A and B are shown apart, each in its own frame.
Chain A
Amino acid sequence: MDMHLSSNNGPVVDQTEAELQGAGPAMERLVVVGNGMAGMKTVEELLAKAPGRFDITVFGAEPHPNYNRIMLSPVLAGEKTFDQIVLNSREWYDANGITLLTGEAVESIDRAGKTVVSQSGRVVPYDRLLIATGSMPFIIPVPGSTLPGVIGFRDLADVDAMLAAAARGGRAVVIGGGLLGLEAANGLRVKGMEVTVVHLMPTLMERQLDPSAGMLLQRELERRGIEVLTGADTAEIVGDEWVSAVRLRDGRELPADIVVMAVGIRPNMALGKAAGLECGRGIRVDDKMRTSDPSIYAVGECVEHRGVTWGLVAPLFEMAKVLAHDLAGGEGAAYTGSVTSTKLKVTGVDVFSAGDFSGGAGTEDIVFRDAARGVYKRLVLKDGKLLGAVLYGDTKDGAWYFSLLKDGADVSAERDSMIFGQGFGSADAGDPNAAIAALPDSAEICGCNGVCKGNIVKAITEKGLTSLDEVKAHTKASASCGGCSGTVERLLAVTLGDGFTAAPKVKPMCKCTHHTHDQVRAAIVERGLKTMAEVFQAMEWTTPDGCASCRPALNYYLLCAWPGEYKDDYQSRYINERAHANIQKDGTYSVVPRMWGGLTNAAELRAIADVVDKFAIPTVKVTGGQRIDLFGVKKEDLPAVWADLNAAGMVSGHAYAKGLRTVKTCVGSEWCRFGTQDSTGLGVKLERMTWGTWTPHKVKLAVSGCPRNCAEATIKDLGVVCIDSGYELHVGGNGGLHVRACDLLVRVGTEEEVLEYTGAFMQLYREEARYLERTAPWVERVGLDHIKAALVEDPERRRALNARFLFSQTFSQDDPWAERAAKGVDRHEFNLLAEVG
């Protein structure tokens, strides 16, 4: 090993990882400056093509291993964790004999001596040097642009700063309404900040979208509560020790607690320039990615190639492949530039654009517009070829249009129908699987990684792949921005046919979709869909507003998946849950105040009697749920009736809800000569814990004081039978249309265990059952063993389920009557619009 004294007498050269692992002396030393996606893609390709040939040292300024920078958007929005976006773990570097130096930037290059010097003074020699320093956010040179609180959106540190700002709450101003700016805006909005996007041009994402698609996008973002100002020029960023506002040239001042600068990137070429390499807007390279120094290469965003700089991942990966081929001693590879397509990653907004859609002389436009569905598609043709495509809302043909564009295919034959998509006119029109099946093998499915259909199908059939994750791992398709994952899944379905899902054919949710309840539920969780509109988009609903079947179900699934985050969709609730009372055949309502565990007292009964007299309520009836029902209340009287009942300390009994109804009890050890435990007391505790929850269908509990079971606990969704040594928990019973006796789940010794099991059972039911499925058919469908495995055999899972249940309850336990009676919530529900004539 050589020993040098560095020019500033700093520490000497370290042994590289390869040398430590006993590498041979014949290895060439490759030093990579920059630990980002382009540099590491080159290294990956190089290891595949020429293993053992290079002794590689990688310097990275950030303290992390290589991560997928494109996926910072989902990390900001809370859809992914950082660990999930790491591309090459530290173990990978070790396993491949690569010396990784993170948190250490390279300060200078000594081209004559062929060494680099890092900021810590470390000196490393090279035979070949690869500069992959990426780019920096362009900060517009206005006064205040260097204030604390003004950040870019390039790395994890930026995301952490944004998350910290969001945790403090307040307003964010994003300068720049392009791809990155909109993703930052969406992420911050999802995290609860007030967000304003300031964009210089009249159209958002004007480099990818035409004005019509840009307008649709703007409206969608505004619908999500993001303020959009186009034609807005920033003049100054105002603040003292921290940013406080953004002032526009027209005088408007926007308050801001954080400012995200997303107006573009500039190649980071400082190192190359200081070393005397030829630079223009970036470090100039030829078609083999060589700089003006024969031992030095450059790749990625820091590069200028044929006068062009790049900011999308696909071209960078193409460069990396060419470079790796060349470094490995291969001949003939050359990078000649890229044709690109882009996909916006804001969840639920589907935007695709490719080629040149600016129009102009000699071009023709074909436009498809379906405003009700939020779909806009525009194709630009010239001389019988496709020049450009812009798709908003329906992007499933993006891959097809892109392949036509790249191949320069003559589309004159399809010109009249191609706007309708690839499968148009065939019997399979509208069937997305048919569109995939019809694509040629050369069609590019994953634009980021350049993976075509043929590659994927080959991998699926030859390696027996059966899932998206496996396809991702074997082919890299869907491994970068993830935009093509839906298409890859369809390709799996088409390739494997019946072999794809082992599950039996299940009914779709409703006429609006071919997806089943379970598929939609899984998608909501896995893809982080947080509004109904996002579900409609992501799952390709065939109607703009759903229907009376799917909307209430989706509302429930979203509420269950995102407690505290999802905003309940009032207009998707059935009337009973909007009016918080039970509608009767003549349009009047019935009112049922809660009687905890079936107990009441003189004051409550007096209050009920007074309300009956005051409002002349026609019928008073005792219910099977051990409480009192008042029939014939006019809708406009409901808030006043509730106010009187609230005044006596009574609250809604949720007799109308797909939620917890009642906990029936029989008196136990407090009074009954046979009572083994305090069944009534336990019943009240259970009711206090579970009231207010929303469930797939109504839930009825009961607690009997002894095995004589006077509370009929064994036909309840969950029934407790007290025994001398403790409590028996029975589940999945039903006393209605199809009588089913419960299954015994478990015997426990304490009330605390009863409560924990109940919370866990409720949550398991909430998370797994289909909307409008009572516990009885659910238990029959999944089997008692499944429930035992989750609750009885796995105490940790039981505890976690119970914790999730209790957490969701923190958002649910508000008396809906009090909100409406005293605070006037939803007043419109109970008042006439007008009385005329």
Chain B
Amino acid sequence: MENVTSETVWTQVGSIDDIPVLGSRVVRTPGGDIALFRTAADEVFALEDACPHKQGPLSQGIVHGRRVTCPLHSWVIELATGEAVAPDEGRTGHVPVRVEGRSVAIALAEAKLSRGGCRKDCGHV
């Protein structure tokens, strides 16, 4: 997992109210898109917006419990780790999130995004 310390730089991305409950919004970064998820219990998770299977946009999937189902081929991904749920195998980038009050921030520098893929050029939101 990432190394979050008191030195970690947190980048504000918005308010938790802008993320639909059991839904997702996308943050664009130079390294690729990041999907922010909000569960029914108001927890916020952030993953690279790319399914480990074929880089489908996880932000477009259906959120349930602490998981999201990828809209392309229905792989199920754990929001807390980015791991695919067995029997599928694979893992997508995980980004630390901090929620203070209604404000949501991510630790960009600690995120491990795979820089492959054509996501940014194709520009999916």
Contact = CB atoms under 8 A, between A and B. Distances in A.
A572 B61 CA distance: 10
A431 B87 CA distance: 27
Contacts of A583: 57, 60, 71-72
A575 B26 contact: no
Question: Which residue among A635, A831, A832, A834 has the maximum number of chain B CB atoms within 10 Å of its CB?
Answer: A834
Contact of A833 (B27, B30, B40, B56): B27
Contact of B41 (A372, A586, A636, A832): A372
Contact of A587 (B14, B25, B108, B124): B124
Question: Which residue among A544, A545, A583, A832 has the maximum number of chain B CB atoms within 10 Å of its CB?
Answer: A545
A837 B30 contact: yes
A636 B65 contact: no
A361 interface: no
Contacts of B21: 571
A833 B14 CA distance: 7
A551 B69 CA distance: 12
B124 A586 contact: yes
B8 interface: no
Contacts of B93: none
Interface in B52-81: 54, 56-57, 60-65, 69, 71-72, 74, 76
A832 B29 CA distance: 11
A372 to B, nearest CB: 6
Contacts of B30: 837
Question: Which residue among A579, A587, A834 has the maximum number of chain B CB atoms within 10 Å of its CB?
Answer: A587
Contacts of B25: 828, 832-833
A571 B28 CA distance: 22
A613 interface: no
Contacts of B27: 832-836
Contacts of A585: 54, 56, 72
B71 A574 contact: yes
Contact of A570 (B20, B40, B61): B20
A586 B30 CA distance: 18
B1 interface: no
A267 interface: no
Interface string A817-837: 000000000001011111111
Interface in B94-124: 108, 118-119, 122-124
Interface string B11-28: 111100011111101111
Nearest to B69: A548
B64 A551 contact: yes
Nearest to B20: A571
Contacts of B74: 548
A588 interface: yes
A833 B27 CA distance: 5
A572 B39 CA distance: 13
Sorting the interface of chain A by its residue count into under 10, 10 to 19, 20 to 34 or 35 or more gives 20 to 34
Question: Which residue among B36, B39, B63, B64 has the maximum number of chain A CB atoms within 10 Å of its CB?
Answer: B64
A543 B69 CA distance: 15
Contacts of A572: 22, 62
Given A832-B25, A836-B13, A836-B27, A571 B63 contact: yes
B76 to A, nearest CB: 8
Contacts of A548: 61-62, 64, 69, 74, 76
A587 B64 contact: no
A634 interface: yes
Interface in A558-605: 570-572, 574-575, 578-579, 583, 585-588
B11 A836 contact: yes
Contacts of B23: 570-571
Question: Which residue among A551, A575, A578 has the maximum number of chain B CB atoms within 10 Å of its CB?
Answer: A575
Interface in A651-690: none
Contacts of A372: 40-41
Contacts of B71: 574-575, 583
Given A545-B40, A575-B60, A835-B28, A588 B19 contact: no
A547 interface: yes
Contacts of A570: 20, 23
A707 interface: no
Contact of B62 (A571, A833, A837): A571
A586 B26 contact: no
A545 B22 contact: yes
Contacts of A836: 11, 13, 27-29, 108
B62 A588 contact: no
A450 interface: no
B124 A634 contact: yes
B125 A830 contact: yes
A834 B21 CA distance: 18
Nearest to A588: B122
Interface string A218-260: 0000000000000000000000000000000000000000000
Given A571-B21, A571-B63, A547 B125 contact: no
B22 A634 contact: no
A635 B29 contact: no
A546 interface: yes
A634 B69 CA distance: 22
A586 B31 CA distance: 17
A137 interface: no
A499 to B, nearest CB: 37
A588 to B, nearest CB: 6
Contacts of A634: 122-125
Contacts of A586: 118, 122, 124
B123 A636 contact: yes
Given A545-B22, A583-B60, A833-B19, A636 B13 contact: no
A832 B22 contact: no
A371 B60 CA distance: 27
Contact of A834 (B14, B57, B60, B122): B14
Contacts of A551: 62, 64
Nearest to B25: A833
A552 interface: yes
A833 B26 contact: yes
Nearest to B71: A575
A510 to B, nearest CB: 10
Given A571-B62, A833-B25, A834-B27, A635 B19 contact: no
B26 A832 contact: yes
Contacts of B39: 545
A837 B108 contact: yes
Nearest to B14: A833
A146 B56 CA distance: 64
A548 B63 CA distance: 7
Contacts of B36: 833
A832 B125 contact: yes
Nearest to A372: B41
B61 to A, nearest CB: 7
B102 to A, nearest CB: 13
A588 B124 contact: yes
Contact of B125 (A543, A545, A552, A636): A636
Contacts of B108: 836-837
Nearest to A835: B28
Contacts of B119: 587
Interface of B: 11-14, 18-23, 25-31, 36, 39-41, 54, 56-57, 60-65, 69, 71-72, 74, 76, 108, 118-119, 122-125
Interface of A: 371-372, 543-548, 551-552, 570-572, 574-575, 578-579, 583, 585-588, 634-636, 828, 830-837
**What 9 A-B pairs come out closest when comparing CB atoms?**
A587-B124, A548-B69, A833-B25, A635-B125, A575-B60, A548-B62, A571-B22, A575-B71, A834-B13
Given A578-B60, A833-B36, A834-B13, 6 more contacts: A544-B40, A548-B64, A586-B122, A634-B124, A635-B125, A832-B125
24 contacts: A544-B40, A545-B63, A548-B64, A548-B76, A571-B22, A574-B71, A583-B60, A583-B71, A583-B72, A585-B54, A587-B56, A587-B57, A587-B122, A634-B123, A634-B124, A635-B124, A833-B25, A834-B12, A834-B14, A834-B27, A835-B27, A835-B28, A836-B13, A837-B31
